[in-house]
Amino acid sequence: MLNNIIWKTLWDQRRSLSWWSIGFAGLIISIMLFYPFFIENIDSYAGLLQDASDDPLMRIFAGGDLLDMASPAGFINVELMAFMVPLLYVAFAITTGSAAIAGEESRGTLDFLLSNPVTRRQIILQKYGAMVGGVVILTLINVASFGVGVVIVNMEINFWRIVEATISTGLLGLVFGAMAFSLGATFGKRGVSVGITSGVAVGSYLLHALGPLVDWLEPFTKISPFYYQDQVDMTKAGLDPLHTAFFVFAGILFLSISVVFFERRDIGLG
């Protein structure tokens, strides 16, 4: 099994990955099932949506114009893609990334890997590949869940745009997963990895959300990964190549840092 650490790691994660998949699918399908009821009673929500849409802070945290919720794309954006799905992706990726190396080290199983004929670089690359594989599996589950929801409620929407938005959200999660992975490989402490990355994720989201409302913050919004995951435009216009390139570059950067520091640091073997 050690001949392929990627498959070994994914196999070890099969239970948690299954629960994450069930959670994602349940959330997406249940929210989409609410769409017909929402449309039938849209007049009842008109005043509330108008008031919320007039509030700049609400518009930003909702991911766009709440009055657009009457459209399928607007409903999906506000209810799922603006906050809930990205949050869960980030949480999953941080959990998985921090466990990849630091988790193995804290459990005392990293020495078992290192005692086999495999280099540290191979361990890093394959552990990283397993993290990416987990996000890919969740993305496929999410796309399928959106497909089920679209069919059940007979939603008229460009489904490919949903696919692109879901891919972008997965890439967002991978950025923070890669950061947690890198910190875990560098310091070997899962608590440090989770704590720092979670703090950066929260700070990045607040920077992206509040930046447009605070003059001195606005120039810094482009350093937030959330800036490059603009789901409102994406659900309507598709992936932005430059934004996708940012995610890929960030992932490669954190992977490179992981390789450099993991190969050089002393590891206390249990």
Task: Give the per-residue pLDDT at 57.
Answer: 58
Q: Does 5 have pLDDT greater than 70?
A: yes
Q: What's the DSSP call for residue 270?
A: -
Question: Mind listing the pLDDT tens digit for each residue in 177-202?
Answer: 999 999 999 998 999 999 999 999 99
The DSSP output letter for 66 is: G
Contact 176, 88 (CB under 8 A): no
| Nearest in space to 235 (alpha carbons), one of 90, 49, 64 | 64
How much is the pLDDT for 53?
59
Q: Which of 152, 173, 155, 164 is nearest to 24 (CA)?
A: 173
The residue that leads in pLDDT, 53 or 269, is 53
Say what the pLDDT of residue 137 is.
96
Q: Map tokens 């999660």 to a residue.
A: 173
Name the amino acid, one letter, at 22: I
Q: Which of 42-56, 109-123, 158-172 has the highest mean pLDDT?
A: 158-172
Please give the pLDDT value at position 235.
62
The predicted structure's pLDDT at residue 1:
42
153 against 68, higher pLDDT: 153
* pTM as predicted: 0.89
For the chain, what is the mean pLDDT? Answer: 86
Q: Give the pLDDT of residue 89.
A: 96
Q: What is the mean pLDDT of residues 121-143?
A: 95
**DSSP letters for 89-118:** HHHHHHHHHHIIIIIHHHHT-HHHHHTSS-
pLDDT-derived band at 146 (thresholds 50, 70, 90) equals very high
Q: Report DSSP letters for 3-14, one per residue.
A: T-HHHHHHHHTH
Sign of CA dihedral 57, 64, 245, 226: positive
Average pLDDT (131-159) is 95
Q: How confident is the model at residue 172 (pLDDT cuts 50, 70, 90)?
A: very high
